[in-house]
């Protein structure tokens, strides 16, 4: 993406759309808003009038919100071409990978067709797999054979090797995620020099946000060896580089790992006592960096990706609130799920 | 003939047990299109056959997958028809599952054989590579007391990561060959407690061990022959599996065809979807039936169903015409023309069925543009000889050929020769202006008919103001005809005439007033848009009429091309002359024939259809006994 007009258009588009991003006050306000009004606000009108069960209603709401996100991505993709476009499309593939994981897990556990289908997101054809064909497969090897005829061939081949050697979903999931983030980095590295550096910074922050909680879980919860943990880590984080990762995977205590982190992560994570707290603090840090990128980054592509990442985070929290309302949960629980309590505590 | 068939919205009340039989009977008749009526949802809340539907879909999917390995013969008529019970469908599905498991294991086996072949290729390359290494390869074989050593390959993308990861366990990775996204590596480390840890990470990285041939640096020819032997084994195994699969196919084909028939018979009940609803033992089926078929449906259900039933049929009110599916009557002669009409769109219920008008005007225009007795006869002959491939398009091609031959008689043309017999009417090139004026008259007539059809369609749908004042409405056609009459008078007597002038001005102002009322915009913009649209209505009529001049232009072009062919032929003698005549005629037939067909279609679609029908109707799709549409 080199044309000045394209950059200007995209920056303007991202700036206009960033008006939709929400702050903590907005979230507190929607917490007090009735469900039907919220549905209207998020383009889901009439969804609760269909007489769906709470579980189905939640799934429909989630699908609706992802659909909205995909529609916004489609608008932002229009002026883009080449590696920049591919980078953004690859970012959105995460939703299809959720579907793929659900399909694999469903097949591994012999779940019925309807149950697996209900858990799949409806996605634009740009990134969508032939779900019906994959759903009608009888087992994981057949599913992977079919997948080898799609753009996800590389993932399918690697997944097959892992499946044949290990035959469990954890390694499959980890391999799929690893492939996804490696692919995202590869696409960003192919962008114009002006876009490459800010994109790699942004994706690096995203990778740090993924890597650290994974590292803690693999080492402390799943008791994986340092070698295997390191292999499952994504290279090229923003603050957690390869050498540091090698050092961290050899540690066995949460406090030790957190103390070994460089600035600004050490201060951001000081006081975190559990993996969940680390994850929340990392999400907050990512949120800050992404907002900074959205407003000040010279690259329109990086701004666009930043907007999409922030919008996704917002819609996730909106979904937590809507889900809580559908299930008629206690407000305290909803606030916790939507990450509102921590804000109050900070205030 | 000129209108879609009159439809009735029917509700059949029957016993729940009779539902599958009723679905099958309706599918046999092929005149019922299921459609849910929301007003019944409250009283009949249950949708029957959910489990049946699930089994059916799974069985269909399995059959479809099996068919990609075992091709089946064409579907023949299923007689007698019978209801397929859920139990029978379930056992068929189970059997199909078993067959698919066999096919799937063959598929998986073929995939493994392909991988094996790939591996053999890699080994062969490794052999070449090892042969050039100046080391004792026996050191790389077998168990070592203190050394853990692995030779193998893995996807190139995973190499750097694996190298770094295993370094944490004090292992080293050396790559010595890279090809087609795979890298051959040697992994080496001290034997100890971390062997298991290494194995796990190697598996995750997709590491495949390669055998180190023990006699490698002694007798490479022997290794090569061993590889060749393994290659032959793979090929033999593939052939054996193909034969075994073929045998399996021959064994189960007849049963598979029976299973397919069962699925065909089961489909109507599945295809009912939410058009069939239950309340306890009482069921309803709602949908659409052409009025003329109602009696036949009733008597067929009476014969087929054991329990009582009641059928009620309502005529849809005009306000609900948008929901009514359009059923265009089709026979063997109009089938192809109907398909071409549907390429543009399906008329709404109540609108004029344009098939006959399309058929007649298309045939006439094709003949006018391609008039030649010989060329027409060749088209007829070719259509007859290729009737199996052309299928329902055979009558279309024959009619086009007949029309070309008829106009050939009128033009006095046979394979481009214009002196073999006298023209009944006129050879086109003898008076081009006359031909152009004839085409103009044809265009005017066509435009008038199209506008009348538009007026009819708007009146039928109750849009009276549009029928009167809109583009193509009464006012527009009056404007068009008055301008034409005035222009003709101007040409004949030098004056436009007061009546055409008064009519033109009056209709123009009426049209402008209507556009002003219709346009939703601020006053200035409204005036601008209305003026432009009024002007566009008039120019549109004129330009569309002039489009029909191409009918004459192509008739002249046809003759001109023939003259060119004969001029070239006359420059040669003997065989060359006749080869040129035959080749030239073939050229005219193929190239000009295609162009004329496209031009005639263009005139139909753009000057005709776009003016009088919206093409956004819903096609009537009745239940039928076939494995289509419901997947």
- The stretches of B68-137 forming alpha helices (DSSP H) are 86-132
Under the banding of pLDDT at 50, 70 and 90, the label for residue B440 is very high
pLDDT of residue B225: 79
Q: Nearest residue of B to residue A236 by CA position?
A: B161
| Contact state of A114 with B54 under an 8 Å Cβ cutoff | yes
pLDDT of residue A20: 87
Q: Name the residue facing B165 among A171, A182, A227 (closest C-beta).
A: A227
Give the residue from A49, A161, A168, A227 with the most B CB atoms within 10 Å of its CB, the best one to mutate: A227
In chain B, what are the domains? Answer: 7-99+244-323 (no CATH), 142-211 (3.30.70.2750), 352-612 (no CATH)
Q: What is the mean pLDDT of chain A?
A: 84
Peptide bond into B410 cis (omega under 30): no
Under the banding of pLDDT at 50, 70 and 90, the label for residue B631 is very low
| Contact state of A138 with B100 under an 8 Å Cβ cutoff | yes
pLDDT of residue A347: 36
Q: Two tokens at A260?
A: 């070994």
Q: What is the mean pLDDT of residues A209-219?
A: 91
Q: Are B500 and B486 in contact (CB under 8 A)?
A: yes
Query: Quick check: B556 pLDDT over 80?
Result: yes
Alpha-carbon distances of B97 from A251, B92, B101, B188, B270, rounded to whole Å:
51, 8, 6, 47, 20
pTM: predicted TM-score of the whole model, two decimal places? 0.70
Q: Is A3 on the interface with B (CB under 8 A)?
A: no
Query: Quick check: A305 pLDDT over 80?
Result: yes
Give the residue from A231, A245, A251 with the most B CB atoms within 10 Å of its CB, the best one to mutate: A231
pLDDT of residue B87: 93
Task: With CA atoms as reference, report the closest residue to B588 among B431, B418, B375.
Answer: B375
Q: What is the mean pLDDT of residues B568-581?
A: 89
Helix (H) or strand (E) holding B366: helix B355-369
Q: Is B200 on the interface with A (CB under 8 A)?
A: yes
CATH 1.10.132 given to domain A1-39+48-78+301-340: yes
List of chain B residues whose C-beta atoms are within 8 Å of the C-beta of residue A227: 165-166, 168-169, 194, 197-198, 201
| Residue whose structure tokens are 């031959």 | B405
CA distance B458 to B465: 9
Q: Which residues of B480-511 are buried (b: 16+ CB within 10 A; e: fewer)?
A: bbbbbbbeebeeeeeebbeebbebbeebbebb
List of chain B residues whose C-beta atoms are within 8 Å of the C-beta of residue A114: 54
pLDDT of residue B211: 67
pLDDT of residue B452: 92
Q: What is the mean pLDDT of residues B17-42?
A: 90
List of chain A residues whose C-beta atoms are within 8 Å of the C-beta of residue B200: 225, 228
Helix (H) or strand (E) holding B8: strand B7-15
Q: Name the residue facing A231 among B54, B111, B162 (closest C-beta).
A: B162
CA distance B278 to B43: 9
Q: What is the mean pLDDT of residues A133-144?
A: 87
Q: What is the mean pLDDT of residues B586-607?
A: 91
Q: What is the mean pLDDT of residues B519-530?
A: 84
Q: What is the mean pLDDT of residues B187-192?
A: 83
CA distance B609 to B453: 10
Q: Is A330 on the interface with B (CB under 8 A)?
A: no
**Higher-confidence position of A29 and B222:** A29
Q: Nearest residue of A to residue B168 by CA position?
A: A227
pLDDT of residue A268: 84
| Contact state of A136 with B61 under an 8 Å Cβ cutoff | yes
Q: What is the mean pLDDT of residues A313-332?
A: 86
Give the residue from B59, B157, B164 with the most A CB atoms within 10 Å of its CB, the best one to mutate: B164
Peptide bond into B404 cis (omega under 30): no
pLDDT in tens, A71-116: 888 888 888 888 999 999 999 988 888 888 888 888 888 888 888 8
* Interface predicted TM-score (ipTM): 0.77
pLDDT in tens, B142-187: 666 678 888 888 888 888 888 988 888 888 998 887 877 788 888 8
CA distance B85 to B92: 11
| Contact state of A230 with B165 under an 8 Å Cβ cutoff | yes
DSSP reduced 3-state for A214: helix
CA distance B386 to B396: 12
Q: Is B203 on the interface with A (CB under 8 A)?
A: yes
- DSSP state, residue A46: T
3-state secondary structure labels for all residues of B578-608:
HHHHHHHHHHHHHHHHHHHHHHHHHHHHHHH
pLDDT of residue B599: 92
CA distance A64 to A41: 12
Q: Name the residue facing A113 among B54, B162, B169 (closest C-beta).
A: B54
Under the banding of pLDDT at 50, 70 and 90, the label for residue B629 is very low
- DSSP state, residue B314: E
**Higher-confidence position of B267 and A62:** B267
Q: What is the mean pLDDT of residues A277-305?
A: 90
**Higher-confidence position of A4 and A319:** A319
List of chain A residues whose C-beta atoms are within 8 Å of the C-beta of residue B104: 138, 142
Residue B360: alpha-carbon gap to chain centroid: 26
Residue B453: alpha-carbon gap to chain centroid: 29
Q: What is the mean pLDDT of residues B231-237?
A: 90
CA distance B626 to B346: 23
List of chain A residues whose C-beta atoms are within 8 Å of the C-beta of residue B61: 136
Q: Is B128 on the interface with A (CB under 8 A)?
A: no
CA distance A280 to A216: 14
| Contact state of B157 with A246 under an 8 Å Cβ cutoff | no
List of chain B residues whose C-beta atoms are within 8 Å of the C-beta of residue A230: 164-165, 168
Q: Two tokens at B135?
A: 């080391």
**Higher-confidence position of B509 and B627:** B509
Positive or negative torsion for Cα A179, A185, A188, A190: negative
Query: Quick check: B196 pLDDT over 60?
Result: yes
The set of residues, in sequence order, having a beta carbon less than 8 Å from that of B97 and lying 6+ positions away, is A138, B58, B62
Q: Two tokens at B522?
A: 């601020």
Query: How far does A185 lie from chain B, in Å, by closest CA?
Result: 13
Main-chain phi, psi angles of B347, to 5 degrees? -65, 150
Q: Are A321 and A31 in contact (CB under 8 A)?
A: yes
Task: With CA atoms as reference, report the closest residue to B541 among B472, B482, B596, B595.
Answer: B472
Q: Is A162 on the interface with B (CB under 8 A)?
A: yes
| Contact state of B165 with A136 under an 8 Å Cβ cutoff | no
Residue A318: alpha-carbon gap to chain centroid: 15
Task: With CA atoms as reference, report the closest residue to B533 among B608, B594, B476, B474.
Answer: B476
| Contact state of A227 with B155 under an 8 Å Cβ cutoff | no
Question: What's the angle, vertex CA B88, arms to CA B86 and CA B91, rounded to 5?
Answer: 105
| Contact state of B204 with A235 under an 8 Å Cβ cutoff | no
Task: With CA atoms as reference, report the closest residue to A103 among A67, A140, A141.
Answer: A140
Q: What is the mean pLDDT of chain B?
A: 87
Q: Parse chain A into domains and list their residue ranges.
A: 1-39+48-78+301-340
Q: Report the greatest alpha carbon distance in chain B.
A: 119
């Amino acid at each position: 993406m080199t044309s000045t007009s394209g950059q200007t258009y995209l920056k303007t588009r991202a700036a206009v759309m960033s008006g939709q991003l929400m702050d903590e006050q907005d979230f507190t306000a929607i917490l007090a808003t009735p469900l039907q009004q919220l549905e209207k606000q998020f383009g889901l009108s009439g969804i609760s009038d269909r007489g769906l069960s709470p579980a189905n209603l939640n799934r429909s709401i989630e699908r609706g919100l992802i659909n909205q996100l995909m529609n916004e991505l489609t608008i932002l993709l229009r002026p883009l071409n080449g590696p920049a476009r591919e980078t953004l499309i690859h970012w959105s593939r995460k939703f299809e990978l959720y579907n793929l994981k659900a399909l694999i897990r469903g097949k591994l556990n012999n779940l019925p067709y309807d149950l697996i289908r209900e858990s799949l997101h409806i996605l634009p054809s740009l990134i969508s797999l032939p779900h019906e064909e994959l759903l009608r497969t009888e087992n994981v090897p057949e599913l992977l054979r079919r997948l080898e005829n799609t753009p996800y061939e590389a993932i399918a081949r690697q997944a097959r090797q892992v499946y044949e050697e290990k035959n469990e979903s954890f390694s499959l999931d980890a391999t799929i995620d690893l492939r996804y983030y490696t692919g995202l980095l590869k696409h960003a590295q192919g962008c114009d020099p002006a876009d490459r550096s800010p994109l790699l910074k942004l994706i690096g922050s995203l990778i740090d946000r993924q890597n650290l909680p994974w590292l803690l879980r693999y080492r402390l919860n799943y008791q994986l060896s340092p070698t295997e943990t390191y292999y499952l880590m994504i290279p090229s984080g923003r603050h957690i580089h390869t050498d540091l990762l090698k050092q961290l995977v050899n540690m066995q205590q949460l406090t030790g790992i957190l103390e070994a982190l460089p600035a600004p992560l050490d201060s951001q994570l000081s006081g975190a006592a559990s993996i969940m707290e680390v994850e929340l603090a990392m999400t907050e840090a990512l949120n800050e960096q992404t907002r900074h990128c959205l407003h000040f980054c010279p690259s329109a592509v990086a701004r666009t990706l930043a907007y999409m990442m922030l919008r996704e985070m917002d819609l996730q929290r909106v979904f937590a609130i809507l889900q809580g309302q559908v299930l008629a949960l206690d407000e305290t629980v909803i606030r916790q799920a939507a990450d509102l309590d921590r804000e109050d505590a900070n205030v | 003939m000129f209108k879609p068939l009159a439809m009735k919205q029917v509700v059949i009340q029957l016993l729940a047990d009779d539902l599958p039989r009723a679905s099958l009977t309706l599918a046999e008749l092929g005149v019922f299109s299921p459609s849910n009526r929301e007003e019944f949802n409250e009283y009949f809340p249950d949708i029957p056959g959910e489990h049946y539907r699930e089994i059916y879909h799974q069985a269909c999917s399995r059959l479809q997958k099996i068919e990609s390995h075992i091709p089946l013969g064409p579907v023949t008529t299923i007689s007698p028809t019978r209801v397929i019970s859920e139990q029978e469908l379930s056992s068929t599905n189970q059997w199909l599952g078993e067959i698919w498991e066999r096919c799937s294991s063959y598929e998986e086996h073929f995939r493994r054989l392909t991988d094996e072949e790939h591996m053999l290729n890699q080994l062969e390359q490794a052999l070449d590579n090892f042969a050039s290494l100046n080391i004792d390869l026996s050191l790389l074989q077998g168990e070592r007391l203190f050394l853990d050593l692995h030779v193998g390959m893995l996807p190139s993308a995973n190499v750097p990561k694996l190298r770094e990861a295993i370094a944490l366990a004090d292992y080293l990775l050396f790559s010595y060959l890279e090809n087609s996204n795979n890298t051959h590596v040697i992994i080496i480390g001290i034997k100890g407690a971390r062997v298991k840890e290494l194995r796990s990470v190697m598996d995750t990285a997709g590491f495949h061990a390669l055998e180190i041939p023990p006699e490698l640096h002694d007798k490479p020819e022997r290794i090569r022959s061993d590889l060749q032997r393994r290659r032959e084994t793979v090929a033999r195994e593939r052939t054996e599996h193909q034969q075994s699969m073929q045998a399996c196919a021959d064994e189960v084909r007849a049963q598979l065809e029976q299973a397919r028939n069962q699925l065909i018979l089961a489909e109507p009940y599945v295809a009912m979807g939410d058009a069939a609803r239950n309340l306890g033992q009482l069921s309803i089926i709602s949908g659409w039936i052409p009025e003329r078929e109602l009696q036949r449906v009733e008597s067929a259900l009476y014969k087929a169903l054991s329990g009582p039933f009641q059928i009620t049929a309502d005529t849809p009110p005009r306000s609900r015409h948008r929901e009514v599916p359009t059923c265009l009557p089709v026979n063997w002669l109009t089938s192809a023309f109907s398909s071409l009409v549907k390429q543009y769109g399906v008329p709404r219920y109540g609108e004029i069925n344009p098939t006959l008008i399309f058929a007649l005007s298309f045939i006439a225009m094709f003949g006018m543009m391609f008039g030649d007795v010989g060329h027409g006869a060749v088209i007829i002959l070719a259509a007859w000889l290729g009737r199996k491939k052309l299928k329902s398009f055979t009558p279309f091609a024959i009619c086009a050929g007949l029309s070309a031959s008829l106009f050939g008689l009128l033009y006095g043309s046979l394979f481009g020769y214009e002196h073999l017999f006298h023209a009944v009417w006129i050879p086109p090139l003898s008076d081009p202006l006359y031909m152009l004026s004839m085409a103009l008259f044809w265009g005017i007539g066509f435009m008038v008919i199209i506008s009348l059809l538009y007026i009819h369609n708007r009146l039928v749908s109750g849009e009276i103001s549009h029928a009167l004042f809109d583009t193509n409405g009464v006012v527009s056609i009056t404007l068009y005809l008055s301008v034409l009459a005035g222009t003709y008078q101007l040409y004949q007597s030098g004056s436009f005439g007061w009546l055409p002038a008064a009519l033109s001005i009056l209709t123009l102002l009426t049209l402008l007033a209507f556009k002003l009322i219709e346009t939703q915009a601020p006053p200035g913009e409204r005036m601008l848009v209305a003026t432009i649209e009024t002007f566009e209505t008039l120019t549109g009529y004129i330009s569309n009429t002039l489009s029909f001049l191409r009918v004459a232009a192509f008739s002249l072009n046809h003759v001109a091309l023939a003259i060119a062919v004969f001029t070239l032929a006359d420059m040669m003698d003997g065989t060359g002359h006749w080869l040129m005549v035959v080749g030239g005629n073939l050229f005219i037939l193929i190239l000009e024939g295609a162009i004329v067909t496209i031009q005639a279609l263009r005139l139909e679609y753009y000057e005709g259809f776009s003016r009088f029908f919206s093409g956004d109707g819903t096609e009537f799709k009745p239940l039928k006994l076939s494995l289509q549409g419901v997947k």
